[in-house]
Each structure stands twice: as C-alpha cells, then as structure tokens.
Structure 1
Amino acid sequence: MPGVFEVYVKTHFSAAHRLRGYPGDCARVHGHNWIIEVYVQCRKLNEIGIAIDFRDIKNAVKEVLGRMDHCDLNDLPAFKDENPTSENIAGFLYRELSRALNDGTVKISKVKVCETPGAGAIYWED
C-alpha cells in the first residue's frame, strides 16, 4: 500500500463571537486569538519532491481568514444560522479550503481550530 504525505500550516486570526443559547458567559460577545492548523494530504510528490507548496496553502488560508479576521463572526453569512463555535468554524474552513485547494492530487484532510492554546476542535470528512 503506498504511503500518504500530510503537510500542514499553522496560523491564527483574531475575532469576536457569542454563542446564542449558551447558558453562561460565552453568550456575551467576547474574543479569541484563534489558532488554525490546516492539513493537506497527497500520495505523490511533484518532480522536486513537494506535495503542495506551503505558499499555496498559506495563500488560500489567508484569503478565507481575511474575511474573518477582526470581525464579529456572528455577523458573517456563514454563521447566520449556526453558532460560530470552534467546531463550526473548523467545518466552515474545511469546506472553503477544500473548494480552493482540492484538485485530485491533494486534498484537505482536516482542519484544527483552537480558541485557546489548550482547547479546540478538529473537523474532517471520511
């Protein structure tokens, strides 16, 4: 069975949110410095030994996070009907980045979103 390469980039963005229906402090507007990790898989390297250029991943992530950075996430269309939890943000980023980067050779394998250094969520699809 051939091996699988998985590469990743780690970055961050800052944004506010509130959790509608939450029975506690998180129901009020508050902010986080969200830490994001995006993982990309491939089975074959290009002619110079690269799965996907880190720059390509970073540019795609930068484009998506540019719409979220220093915003109230509840005001974004993606979170109009669902809370901008770490879980939902991870799913949103996975779908957006899959559209931007998946090409038959590489695919987003998972996205990790942490609202604090010790707590977060990971999203992937089987």
Structure 2
Amino acid sequence: MYELVVKGGFAAAHNLRHYRGRCEALHGHNYRVEVYVRAEELGEGEMVLDFRELKALLGEVLAALDHRYLNELPPFREQEPSSENIARFIFEELEGRLPSGVKLYKVTVWESEGAGASYLKAA
C-alpha cells in the first residue's frame, strides 16, 4: 500500500449557529488542509499520482471555499460549517475526481496551528 499527502489552504469566514461561545460570532480562519490518498499499485511513472495533479484537484475544491462566508454556501446553510463538516465536504467533493486505482483515505482541516479535524470514510 502506498500513501501520498498534499497540503493546501483557504481563507474563509463562518459562525457556528448552534454553539454558545465566541465561535457563534462571525469570525475567520486561514484554514490548512491535508489530503491523504492511497493506492495498492504504482501507476504511470512509477507513482501513485503526480503531486501536481493531486494539488490541482484539491485546488479546484478549495477555490469554492476561498474568501467566502461559509454559512452562505449550500452544504453549510443547514449544517454547521465546523472543521469536521468542512473536512467531510472536501472529502466528498474530491473523492469523485481521483483517477481509477487511487482512493481518498483522509482529509484533515486545521483551523489553527493546534486545532484540526479529520474525516475518513467508514470502511
């Protein structure tokens, strides 16, 4: 089994509607995102996937979130734009864009240097 990881980021604002505390007020983060993919076999060029290609795919997904008020975006109009739900959204958007044989394993979203959340699809 082979595993790759790439990192990206985006800046966005949100507020947590069902949270009582500072985070219920409008605020923003410079989010950092880590994406982990796995493959049983190496593909073309003896690689799982070209890092540039994986970063470009991640960039397409993150572009929809960058410099946005997350609460106004369709996935977060009903559900909280928490780091957990953002990680799941990125996972679900990215999963279908990967080439055959490459499986998305995990997405981690960091809202600060010391606080992040991951989404892994149940086996």
TM-score (norm 2): 0.95
How far did residue 53 of structure 1 move?
A: 1.0
Alpha-carbon RMSD: 1.0
Residues in 2 aligned to 1:95 and 1:35: alpha-carbon distance in whole angstroms: 17
Partner residue in 2 for 1:89: 86
Contact 1:102-1:108 at 8 Å conserved across structures: no
Structure 2 residue matching 1:115: 3-state secondary structure = strand
Of residues 51, 54, 60, the one that matches 1:54 is 51
Contact 2:18-2:80 at 8 Å conserved across structures: no
Structure 2 residue matching 1:90: 3-state secondary structure = helix
Contact 2:30-2:111 at 8 Å conserved across structures: yes
Partner residue in 1 for 2:29: 32
Partner residue in 1 for 2:75: 78
Structure 2 unaligned blocks of 5 or more:
none
Partner residue in 2 for 1:44: 41
Count of residues paired in the alignment = 122
Residues in 1 aligned to 2:19 and 2:85: alpha-carbon distance in whole angstroms: 15
* % identical equivalent positions: 47
Structure 1 unaligned blocks of 5 or more:
none
